[in-house]
């Protein structure tokens, strides 16, 4: 068997939407879902070169929590196009036919081979939170200027985390709607569930509203945090 060259392997970034019941899939289930759908759609996915357990080369830029909807989350796949016949438009259409209701590929782009892994490129994420009174609860907490301290379990120990440095920008906060950009990735990652806990504890958000909030990740920022008009700086 001839050796596969790097030229024959191409990186493709897919952007997927998941809504409604599909948003309750755990991250591992979502990974398996894509593996099965790509296989059923006959995509020529490259496999890792691990000796005993080769895996399809599929990398999600940012795991998504249970119950969180997405509009355009990135997942990178590596295509092994040996004969040059891979047609991305037809392949995406076929893949969408194999994905379950609520999950759909909404865009794609070829990735420069020099780019880092998508997980290493993640800088931030934009979220939309919908719950009765969430705008006022957020203002109660954010406008004080005080640290937003919450407790979380990390490496089997309870630690206190300040969420304020992880809030990069507030896009809208009124009524039953909150839109913001939070840090994402390996450092300064904003967990939206912890933010809802803080709004319940300190902002007067009703417990039922906090537990039942509709959370949508509308965008994941790779390489730079921008709003298509310029770089967003951290808000004071």
Q: Please identify, in words, the CATH class of the domain defined by 6-115.
A: alpha beta
- pLDDT at position 34 is 97
Compute how many other C-beta atoms are within 10 angstroms of the C-beta atom of residue 146. Answer: 11
pLDDT along the chain (236 residues), means of 10: 53 96 95 96 88 85 95 95 85 97 96 86 95 96 94 83 94 95 88 96 95 96 68 38
Q: Which residues are bridge partners to 130 per DSSP?
A: 177, 214
- pLDDT at position 227 is 56
C-alpha to C-alpha distance for 224 and 231, rounded to whole angstroms: 8
Domain ranges in the chain are: 6-115, 120-222
- pLDDT at position 1 is 34
What are the tokens at 96? Answer: 């969408």
CA distances from 75 to 6, 34, 235 (A): 20, 10, 29
Residue 193 dihedral angles phi and psi, to the nearest 5°:
-65, -35
pTM score over 0.85: yes
């Amino acid at each position: 068997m001839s050796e596969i060259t790097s030229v024959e392997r191409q990186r493709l970034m897919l952007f997927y939407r998941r809504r409604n019941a599909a948003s309750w899939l755990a991250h591992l289930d979502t990974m398996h879902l894509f593996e099965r759908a790509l296989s059923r759609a006959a995509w020529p996915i490259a496999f890792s070169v691990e000796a005993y357990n080769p895996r399809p080369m599929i990398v999600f830029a940012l795991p998504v929590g249970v119950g969180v909807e997405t509009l355009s989350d990135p997942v990178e796949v590596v295509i092994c196009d040996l004969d040059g016949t891979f047609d991305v438009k037809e392949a995406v259409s076929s893949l969408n036919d194999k994905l379950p209701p609520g999950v759909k590929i909404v865009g794609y782009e070829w990735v420069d081979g020099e780019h880092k892994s998508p997980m290493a490129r993640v800088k931030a994420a934009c979220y939309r939170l919908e719950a009765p009174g969430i705008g006022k609860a957020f203002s109660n907490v954010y406008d004080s200027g005080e640290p937003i301290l919450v407790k979380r379990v990390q490496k089997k120990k309870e630690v206190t985390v300040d969420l304020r440095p992880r809030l990069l920008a507030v896009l809208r906060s009124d009524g039953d709607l909150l839109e913001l950009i939070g840090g994402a990735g390996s450092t300064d990652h904003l967990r939206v569930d912890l933010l809802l806990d803080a709004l319940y504890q300190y902002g007067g958000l009703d417990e039922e509203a906090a537990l039942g909030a509709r959370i949508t990740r509308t965008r994941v920022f790779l390489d730079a945090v921008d709003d298509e008009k310029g770089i967003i700086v951290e808000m004071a």
